[in-house]
Amino acid sequence: MSLHLIIGDKLYSSWSLRAALALDLTGASYTEELIKLNQPDTRERLLKHSPTGKVPLLKTSLEEIER
């Protein structure tokens, strides 16, 4: 199963940091996509991945898991 984690800046989004740390601790193989927060295109970029516009979001080959 492939895992793809979409996160915001780890310095500004503690939820994103937590998700990344949790995956790191499991030892699971995953890819990470960073969306910089507080940018003019942030909302647009988030909505491409998540209808709620929130991060973190974990995409798997089976489904999407939101915070």
In the chain, domain spans: 3-66
Q: Model confidence over 1-10: pLDDT tens digits?
A: 789 999 999 8
The label of the residue with tokens 């995956």 reads 23
Q: Model confidence over 14-57: pLDDT tens digits?
A: 999 999 999 999 999 999 999 999 999 999 999 999 899 999 99
How far is residue 5's CA from residue 33's CA, in Å, rounded to a whole number? 6
> Phi and psi dihedrals of 26, rounded to 5?
-75, -20
- The top-level CATH class assigned to 3-66 is alpha beta
Contact 36, 42 (CB under 8 A): yes
Query: pTM of the prediction?
Result: 0.84
